[in-house]
C-alpha cells in the first residue's frame, strides 16, 4: 500500500503528481535544488528537502542523493515525472535494489525502448509496423540500389557512422538514385572514414500521432486512444490535440492494438506512450516508445476521463487496471497549448525572470497545469515551460474556440511568453480545418509571425496610461518630501524596498 | 503640464487637460480623449474610451521615466521626455556606439568566453556564449574588433542587458 | 443572428456569460454601478457603460436605464444572468416591445411560474405531481379533518391568510388532528381575522432535487438530468451535486419527463429549472420552476458536456436545440461549492472588504467560476458570493476527493470565506455516504463548526513568521533613516503609498 | 533581541539565536527551532521545519505590531510586545470598558438608528442596525445604558470596527 511518495521532479509536473497524491490521501515528499527553494512544489509538498546545487546533475539527476533522501524520508515509492530520471534504467534499477517502488517500468523495458535499434527489432518481431528500411548497414553500391528498389521511393540515405546531416541524401525520383548513393557514400567516407549506409523510407509530410497505453503487473493492457502532436517547432511539440483530425475509427482500432502489442512485447508496466510517424493516407510506423508520463497527457485525461497519475500509482501498487478496453470511450475534444517563457519575436529566445502579474483563464472546460505564481523568479537552469493550457470542448470547433478565448484571458507579465504566438496558431485556417502536419509551423511561419494590431486607439491608450502613471509618481514624490509621515508609511516603504531589491 | 512621450518611433505631445475623479480629458497631438481611467491592480489600468474597455499594463524598468506598456496584442516601449530628460539627452551629445558593449538580452549563465583581452576578432566571431533554459546563444561582433575588456567569467550567472565584453 | 449582447448583471455570472459570448465571437456590453467601476466584468467586456448608483434599484434593477443603454449600444439581445431582472416579467416584456431579444422565456411563462398558486394549478393540469393538499382554503372544521384523512398523515396546516409561522401546525399522529386544527384556526382568527386554512402533505426529511431543461422556439424540449441541492443553510444552497446519490434510473426518467412536461405546459423558451421536493422513498412533488440560469448550472455542464449559455443564446436566436434527449448522457460526477465572503465562526456574517491574496486551485477536473482578483474590494452592496468551485470526477468518490483537494489549495485572504467550512462538509461521513437531506447542516452543526487543528508546530511557525517579519520591518526602518537613497526607492514608496491609502 | 509575542491567550518569549541565509535558529520559550524560512510572496512565508513544509501568511493590521497570521487551518491574532508596547500598556492602566463603544465588526451601511442622544436603553435593546450584502445585523447593548453620542447617520457607509454609538 503506497502511503508516501517522493516526487523526483520540479515545475508543473511535480505539482500535477502531488495533486493526484493529495486526492488519494498519499503524503508527498518534494526535493529541491538551490534554485528552487521558492518553487511551488516545495510549498505544496507535505515535506520538502534540499538535494543539491542548481545544475540538474547535482540535484534532480543525482541518483544517489535522491535514493538516500527517499530512504531517509521512509517513502514507499518514487515518481520521476517526465524528463530528468524518468527514463533512466539505472535509476529504476537502483530503486528496485533499495526496495522502493519506481513509478514506471522496470529497467529492462526502459533499456529496450531506449535503444533505437533494439526497439525497432523488438517491434518488428511483435508485428508492429516500423519504417521500412535496412536493419544492418550496407557497403556495396549495387546492394544499396537494390534495397532502395525493394523499399520503394522516396527514401532517405543515411551514413551509418553519421550525424549532423553529413552523408544524408533524400531520393525522390528514379534518376536521383545512383548519383545520390554515390555522393552520400563519398561524403560519408570523407567525414567518417566509413562509407556504409542505411536506407529508410522517407515519409513526406509526416504526422506525429501517439497512443497512450496502460499495463498493470498482471499483464492487463489497454490503450487510451491517440494524441495528434504534429504542431512542432524545432522538433518540439507546441500544440497537441485529441482526437486527431485525420483519424478514422478503423485505423484508430488498428493503431491502438499495435500500441498495446508494442507495450506487451517489453512486458511494460505503468503508463507509456507509443509514437507513430504517419503519412497523409494513415500509413503508420513505430517511431519510439516513451516509457513515462508525457507532457501532453492531460488531453487524454479530459477526453477519456481517467486520471493517469492515479492509474500509475495503482499499477505500481500491484492493483489491476481500473478499466477494460471496452469501457474506455472518447468524449468531446481536447487541445493543449504549451506556454513557454520565451520571446516569439526574437526567434523564441528563452525569457527567464520574475513573474509580475498572472491572470489565469477560468470557466468551463479550461484546465491550467502550471507552477509559477506572482513574484516567482523563473530560474535560468531548467526548462522554459511555464504551464500547459488545456481545454475541452464537445466538438473540435468548440475546443478551438475555447482555446482562443482562454489564450485571450491568459496574461503573464514580467517575462515574455508564447501566448500571442499560440493565439495565431488557433486562428490559422489550416489548423482550424485540421489540415496540417509536422511542417505546419515552418509552412505558415510568416503568417504566424505577423503582429496583431489592436487598432489606432490602443497606442493612444498606452500613452494615456503612461502619462497618468508618471504624474502620480511625481505627485507622490512631492508629497512625501513635504510631510513627515515616516512612521505611517514605513511599512509600505519596507515592502517597496523588498520588491525593489528583488527587481519585480 | 505638457509632456513629450516617446512611443516606439513616435514622439507625442501629451497634456492632461482636466480631471474629475476617474474621468480625464487628455490631449494627444491636438486631439482630445475623454477617458475614464482607474488603476485596478498595481500597474494595471482599466480605461473606458467611447464605451470601449481597454486594459493597459505598465511594466516598470529601472528608469522611472521608461515603461514597457502592454495592451491587448501590442507591447510598446514608452519614454517620458520631460525637461530633465531633454537636458540629459542634449548633454549626452552624439550616439554612443552601442556595438562596442556586448551584452545578452537574456539572463543566464556564461558558458564560454572564447576570447581574451587584446585578441583581434573578425566580424561574425563569437566573443561570448550564454546559456539559459537549455538553450545557448552566441554573441558575435558585427565588425572587426579588438577585445578591450571582459567583465565576467565562465560560469557566472548574469542578468539580461548587462555588459559582458567591451570591444573597440 | 445575435452579434452583440448586453449582460445585465455583475459578478461571476456576468463573467460566465461573457466567456461563452467570446467563444461564440459575440461582442459583449457590460454595465456597471458606482460600486463596480473596478469589477472584472467591466474589464472583460468589449464595451462597458456606467448605469447608476450602487443600490441595485438605481442600477442593475433599473429597467428603463438598461433598455436605453441597450438601444444606444445597438445590441441584439440582453442576457439577465440570475437574480436582478432575470425573472422579471415586465423586463422581458419591455425587451419584446423594444425589439431586443430577452435571453429567457416570454413574460407569460415568467408570470405563470412566478405565482405559486397559478403554477401549482398549471402543473396539476399538466399531470406533474404537486404536494398533495387543498387547492382552495377551507373554513369548516369537519371538512378540514376529512381533508386531512384524505391526504394522509403527516400534514401541515397553514392559515390561508397567514405568514410568519402564525396559524401553522404540524400533525404527525391521529390524536393530534383535532387539537391542532382547533388551535391553528383560533390562532389564525386572532392574527389575521380569518380562520380558513390550507392542508398540505408534510415531507419529513425532504431532498431538494431539480431538473435542468431546455426548450427551443420550435417546441423541442429536453431535460439534462438532475441536480441534488439538499445541502442548505437558511434555505440557501451551499453544495450541489449531480447525479443525486439517491436517484435511480427509473425515477430519473420519470422525473425528467415530468420536468419537460412542466416546461411545455407554459410554452417555455430557453433554459429553466424545475425544482422538486422529494422524500426518502423518491416520492417527488413539483415545488417551483426557476425561469432562468441557476447558480449551480455548471455541475450539469460538466457531467453532460453542454454549454448552457451557448444553448440559451442559440435558442433566443431561433435555432433548434443542438441535441435530442437520446443523445444526452451523464458521464462521471460533479460537485459545486459556493464560496462566500462570510465568517463561519461568526454565524456566517458577511465579510466584504479588500482581497489581498488569492491562490486558485488548478489541475484536472477543477473549474472556478469567479470574479474577484487580488486588490479587488468586494462591495458591501451585493451578494457575498465570491466564486463557485466546481469539480468533476469519474466517480462520486473521486469528485469528493478532488473537491477536498481543491478546497485545500484555495486560499483567499483579506476577507473571511466559507472555504474551511466547506472542507468540513466534504469530510463529513454522512455526506461521503450520500446519506443526507435538507436538514444536513443543522443536524451536523456542532461537527461542522469544530476547528481543525494543524498541530502544535503550527502555532510555533506562526510565532516565528511574525518575529521574522517584524524584525525585517525594523531593519528597513533603520536603514531608510540612515541613507539618502530617496531617488531610487521613490517609485516603490509611491506604490507603498497607493496600497496604504487603499488599505490592502 | 528577545521579544514577547502574544498569540491568542499565550505570551511567548522569542529570540532569533542565529541566522545564515534562509536558515534560522529561533528560541521559543526555551525550545530551539531550526527552520528554513523565506518570504515567497508579499507577506507569505514558506517555512521548512523538520522537513515539514508550512505556509504561513501574515496579514497586516493598521498597527505595525499586530498581525493576523494564517496557517493551514488556523488563524491567529498576534501582537509583538516590545519595550515601547509594554510602556504603552503600562500607561494605559486598567481595561477600557469596551462595552461603551458600539461598533460593527462588518463594514456596511447604516440602515437604522432607533435611538437618540440622551435616550435610556435597556439591556438587549438595539441601538444601531447595519446592513451588508443583503444581510442586516442589529447591535444591542448588553446592560442598561444611556446613549451619549451617535457618530454616524442613517445611510452612511461604515468600515468594520469603527465606533458608531457611544453609551454609558
Judged by CB atoms closer than 8 Å, whether chains meet at C349 and D58 is answered as: no
- Return the percent helix, strand and coil in chain C, to nearest 5: 40, 25, 35
Residue in chain A lying closest to D38 (CA): A38
> How high is the pLDDT of residue B153?
93
> How high is the pLDDT of residue B95?
46
> How high is the pLDDT of residue A486?
38
Least confident of A203-212, C412-421, C452-461, C471-480: C471-480
Share of chain A above pLDDT 70, in %: 94
> How high is the pLDDT of residue A410?
96
Judged by CB atoms closer than 8 Å, whether chains meet at B134 and A383 is answered as: yes
CB contacts, 8 Å: B23 with chain C: none
Judged by CB atoms closer than 8 Å, whether chains meet at C500 and A490 is answered as: no
Share of chain D above pLDDT 90, in %: 48
Per-residue pLDDT band at A445 (split at 50, 70, 90): very high
Flag whether pLDDT at A493 surpasses 80. no
Least confident of B12-26, C400-414, D96-110: D96-110
Catalytic residues of C: 292
Chain C partners (3+ C-beta pairs within 8 A): A, B, D
Query: Which of B47, B40, B89, B53 is closest to A463 using CA atoms?
Result: B47
Residue C171 per-residue DSSP state: E
For testing the chain A interface, which of D23, D24, D35, D40 should be mutated: the one with the most A CBs within 10 Å?
D40
pLDDT, tens only, C167-199: 888 999 999 999 999 999 988 888 888 888 889
> How high is the pLDDT of residue A451?
79
SS3 B14: strand
Q: Which residues pair with A289 in a beta bridge?
A: A274
Cα-atom radius of gyration of chain C, to the nearest Å? 26
Residue in chain A lying closest to B157 (CA): A380
Per-residue pLDDT band at C496 (split at 50, 70, 90): very low
| Alpha carbon of B106: minimum distance to chain A alpha carbons (Å) | 6
The mean of the pLDDT values for chain A is 91
> How high is the pLDDT of residue B91?
64
The residue written with cell numbers 517609485 in the block is C491
| Alpha carbon of C293: minimum distance to chain D alpha carbons (Å) | 21
CATH number of B95-167: 2.40.50.100
Instruction: Assess D101–C contact: CB distance below 8 Å, yes or no.
Output: no
Choose among C38, C46, C490: nearest Cβ to B52.
Answer: C46
Higher pLDDT, D154 or C485: D154
Task: List, as ranges, residues 111-140 from D with C-beta within 8 Å of C.
Answer: 132-135, 137
ipTM of the complex: 0.89
What is the side-by-side strand order in the sheet with A270-278? A284-290, A270-278, A207-215, A221-233, A236-242, A333-340, A385-393, A366-370
Residue C133 per-residue DSSP state: B
CB contacts, 8 Å: C491 with chain B: 60, 64
Judged by CB atoms closer than 8 Å, whether chains meet at D53 and A42 is answered as: yes
Share of chain A above pLDDT 90, in %: 77
Contact present, A240 and A336 (Cβ < 8 Å): yes
Does chain D touch chain C (at least 3 C-beta pairs within 8 Å)?
Answer: yes
Instruction: Assess C405–A contact: CB distance below 8 Å, yes or no.
Output: yes
Q: Which residues, in sequence order, are CB contacts of A351 under 8 Å at separation 6+?
A: A341, A342, A343, A384, A415, A416, A417, B106
Contact present, D127 and D147 (Cβ < 8 Å): yes
pLDDT, tens only, A51-106: 999 999 999 999 999 999 999 999 999 999 999 999 999 999 999 999 999 999 99
> How high is the pLDDT of residue C21?
98
Contact present, C373 and C358 (Cβ < 8 Å): yes
Choose among D39, D51, D60: nearest Cβ to A48.
Answer: D51
Residue A134 per-residue DSSP state: -
CB contacts, 8 Å: A69 with chain D: none
What DSSP element (H or E) covers B5?
strand B2-7
Count residue pairs from A and C with Cβ separation < 8 A.
154
Higher pLDDT, D1 or D126: D126
Least confident of B26-30, B89-93, D35-39, D86-90: B89-93
Q: Which residues, in sequence order, are CB contacts of A483 under 8 Å at separation 6+?
A: none
Rounded mean pLDDT, C435-463 = 90
Flag whether pLDDT at D26 surpasses 70. yes
Choose among D5, D45, D71: nearest Cβ to C458.
Answer: D71
pLDDT, tens only, C377-388: 999 999 999 999
Least confident of A148-157, A237-246, A394-403, C242-251: A148-157
Residue in chain C lying closest to B65 (CA): C491
Q: Which three cell numbers stand for residue C428?
A: 463529513
> How high is the pLDDT of residue A481?
60
Rounded mean pLDDT, C96-118 = 94
Residue A34 per-residue DSSP state: G
Q: Which of A292, A338, A402, A404 is catalytic?
A: A292
Per-residue pLDDT band at C483 (split at 50, 70, 90): low
**Cα A313 to chain centroid, rounded:** 21
Length of chain B: 168
Active site residue A292: yes
| Alpha carbon of B147: minimum distance to chain A alpha carbons (Å) | 26
pLDDT, tens only, D125-150: 999 998 888 788 888 888 889 999 99
Flag whether pLDDT at A500 surpasses 60. no
Per-residue pLDDT band at A504 (split at 50, 70, 90): very low
Higher pLDDT, D71 or A452: D71
Flag whether pLDDT at A367 surpasses 80. yes
Does chain D touch chain B (at least 3 C-beta pairs within 8 Å)?
Answer: no
Query: Which of B91, B97, B104, B111 is closest to B153 using CA atoms?
Result: B111
Flag whether pLDDT at C494 surpasses 70. no
Per-residue pLDDT band at C481 (split at 50, 70, 90): low
Chain A partners (3+ C-beta pairs within 8 A): B, C, D
Flag whether pLDDT at D79 surpasses 80. yes
Judged by CB atoms closer than 8 Å, whether chains meet at D47 and C466 is answered as: no
Alpha helices in chain B (DSSP H): 83-92
Higher pLDDT, D96 or C452: C452
Per-residue pLDDT band at C427 (split at 50, 70, 90): very high
Q: Which residues, in sequence order, are CB contacts of C366 under 8 Å at separation 6+?
A: A367, C389, C390, C391, C402, C406
Judged by CB atoms closer than 8 Å, whether chains meet at B137 and A464 is answered as: no
Cα-atom radius of gyration of chain A, to the nearest Å? 26
Domain residue spans in chain B?
2-81, 95-167
CA C465 to CA C463: how far, in whole Å? Answer: 6
Flag whether pLDDT at A372 surpasses 50. yes
Share of chain C above pLDDT 90, in %: 77
CA B98 to CA B100: how far, in whole Å? Answer: 5
Judged by CB atoms closer than 8 Å, whether chains meet at A470 and B14 is answered as: no
Global pTM value: 0.91
Q: Which residues, in sequence order, are CB contacts of A501 under 8 Å at separation 6+?
A: none
Choose among A364, A369, A476: nearest Cβ to C367.
Answer: A364
Residue in chain D lying closest to C353 (CA): D107
Contact present, C214 and C321 (Cβ < 8 Å): yes
Contact present, C323 and C306 (Cβ < 8 Å): yes
What is the side-by-side strand order in the sheet with D108-112? D135-140, D126-132, D108-112, D157-158
Q: Which three cell numbers stand for residue A4?
A: 508516501
| Alpha carbon of D118: minimum distance to chain C alpha carbons (Å) | 30
| Alpha carbon of D72: minimum distance to chain C alpha carbons (Å) | 7
Choose among A369, A374, A476: nearest Cβ to C363.
Answer: A369
Q: Which three cell numbers stand for residue A183?
A: 555522393
Amino acid at each position: 500500500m503506497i502511503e508516501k511518495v517522493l516526487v523526483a521532479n520540479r515545475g508543473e509536473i511535480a505539482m500535477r503528481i502531488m495533486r493526484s497524491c493529495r486526492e488519494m490521501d498519499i503524503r508527498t515528499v518534494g526535493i529541491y535544488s538551490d534554485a528552487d527553494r521558492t518553487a511551488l512544489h516545495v510549498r505544496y509538498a507535505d515535506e520538502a528537502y534540499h538535494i543539491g546545487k542548481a545544475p540538474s546533475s547535482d540535484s534532480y539527476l543525482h541518483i544517489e542523493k535522491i535514493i538516500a533522501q527517499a530512504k531517509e524520508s521512509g517513502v514507499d515509492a518514487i515518481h520521476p515525472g517526465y524528463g530528468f530520471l524518468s527514463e533512466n534504467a539505472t535509476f529504476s534499477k537502483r530503486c528496485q535494489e533499495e526496495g522502493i517502488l519506481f513509478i514506471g517500468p522496470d529497467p529492462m523495458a526502459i533499456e529496450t525502448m531506449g535503444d533505437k535499434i533494439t526497439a525497432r527489432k523488438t517491434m518488428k518481431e511483435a508485428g508492429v509496423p516500423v519504417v521500412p528500411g535496412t536493419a544492418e548497414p550496407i557497403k556495396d553500391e549495387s546492394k544499396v540500389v537494390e534495397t532502395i528498389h525493394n523499399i520503394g521511393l522516396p527514401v532517405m540515405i543515411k551514413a551509418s557512422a553519421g550525424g549532423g546531416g553529413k552523408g544524408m541524401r533524400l531520393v525522390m525520383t528514379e534518376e536521383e538514385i545512383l548519383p545520390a548513393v554515390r555522393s552520400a557514400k563519398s561524403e560519408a567516407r570523407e567525414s567518417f572514414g566509413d562509407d556504409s549506409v542505411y536506407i529508410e523510407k522517407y515519409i513526406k509530410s509526416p504526422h506525429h500521432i501517439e497512443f497512450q497505453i496502460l499495463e498493470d503487473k498482471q499483464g492487463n493492457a489497454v490503450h487510451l486512444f491517440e494524441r495528434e502532436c504534429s504542431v512542432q517547432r524545432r522538433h518540439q511539440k507546441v500544440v497537441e490535440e485529441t482526437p486527431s483530425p485525420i483519424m478514422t475509427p478503423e485505423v484508430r482500432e488498428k493503431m491502438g492494438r499495435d500500441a498495446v502489442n508494442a507495450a506487451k512485447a517489453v512486458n511494460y508496466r505503468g503508463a507509456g506512450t507509443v509514437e507513430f510517424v504517419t503519412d497523409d493516407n494513415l500509413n503508420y510506423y513505430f517511431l519510439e516508445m516513451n516509457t513515462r508520463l508525457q507532457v501532453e497527457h492531460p488531453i487524454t485525461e479530459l477526453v477519456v476521463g481517467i486520471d493517469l497519475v492515479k492509474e500509475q500509482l495503482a499499477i505500481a501498487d500491484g492493483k489491476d487496471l481500473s478499466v477494460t478496453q471496452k469501457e474506455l470511450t472518447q468524449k468531446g475534444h481536447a487541445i493543449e497549448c504549451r506556454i513557454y517563457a520565451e520571446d516569439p519575436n526574437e526567434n523564441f529566445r528563452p525569457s527567464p525572470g520574475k513573474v509580475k502579474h498572472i491572470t489565469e483563464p477560468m470557466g468551463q472546460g479550461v484546465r491550467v497545469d502550471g507552477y509559477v505564481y506572482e513574484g516567482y523568479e523563473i530560474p535560468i537552469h531548467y526548462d522554459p515551460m511555464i504551464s500547459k493550457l488545456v481545454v475541452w470542448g464537445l466538438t473540435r470547433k468548440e475546443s478551438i474556440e475555447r482555446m482562443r478565448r482562454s489564450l485571450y484571458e491568459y496574461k503573464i507579465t514580467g517575462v515574455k511568453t508564447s501566448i500571442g504566438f499560440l493565439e495565431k496558431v488557433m486562428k490559422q485556417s489550416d489548423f482550424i480545418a485540421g489540415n496540417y502536419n509536422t511542417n505546419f509551423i515552418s509552412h505558415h511561419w510568416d503568417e504566424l509571425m505577423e503582429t496583431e494590431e489592436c487598432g489606432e486607439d490602443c497606442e493612444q491608450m498606452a500613452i494615456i496610461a503612461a502619462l497618468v502613471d508618471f504624474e502620480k509618481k511625481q505627485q507622490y514624490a512631492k508629497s512625501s518630501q513635504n510631510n513627515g509621515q515616516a512612521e505611517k508609511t514605513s511599512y509600505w516603504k519596507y515592502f517597496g524596498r523588498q520588491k525593489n531589491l528583488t527587481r519585480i | 503640464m505638457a509632456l513629450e512621450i516617446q512611443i516606439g518611433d513616435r514622439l507625442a505631445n501629451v497634456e492632461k487637460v482636466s480631471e474629475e475623479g476617474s474621468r480625464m480629458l487628455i490631449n494627444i497631438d491636438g486631439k482630445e480623449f475623454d477617458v475614464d481611467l482607474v488603476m485596478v491592480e498595481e500597474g494595471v489600468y482599466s480605461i473606458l474610451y467611447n464605451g470601449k474597455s481597454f486594459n493597459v499594463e505598465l511594466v516598470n524598468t529601472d528608469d522611472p521615466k521608461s515603461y514597457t506598456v502592454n495592451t491587448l496584442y501590442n507591447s510598446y516601449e514608452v519614454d517620458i521626455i520631460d525637461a530633465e530628460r531633454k537636458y540629459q539627452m542634449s548633454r549626452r551629445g552624439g550616439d554612443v556606439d552601442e556595438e562596442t558593449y556586448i551584452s545578452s538580452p537574456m539572463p543566464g549563465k556564461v558558458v564560454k568566453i572564447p576570447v581574451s583581452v587584446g585578441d583581434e576578432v573578425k566580424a561574425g566571431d563569437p566573443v561570448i556564449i550564454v546559456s539559459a533554459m537549455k538553450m545557448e546563444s552566441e554573441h558575435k561582433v558585427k565588425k572587426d574588433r579588438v577585445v578591450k575588456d571582459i567583465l565576467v567569467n565562465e560560469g557566472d550567472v548574469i542578468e539580461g542587458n548587462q555588459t559582458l565584453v567591451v570591444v573597440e
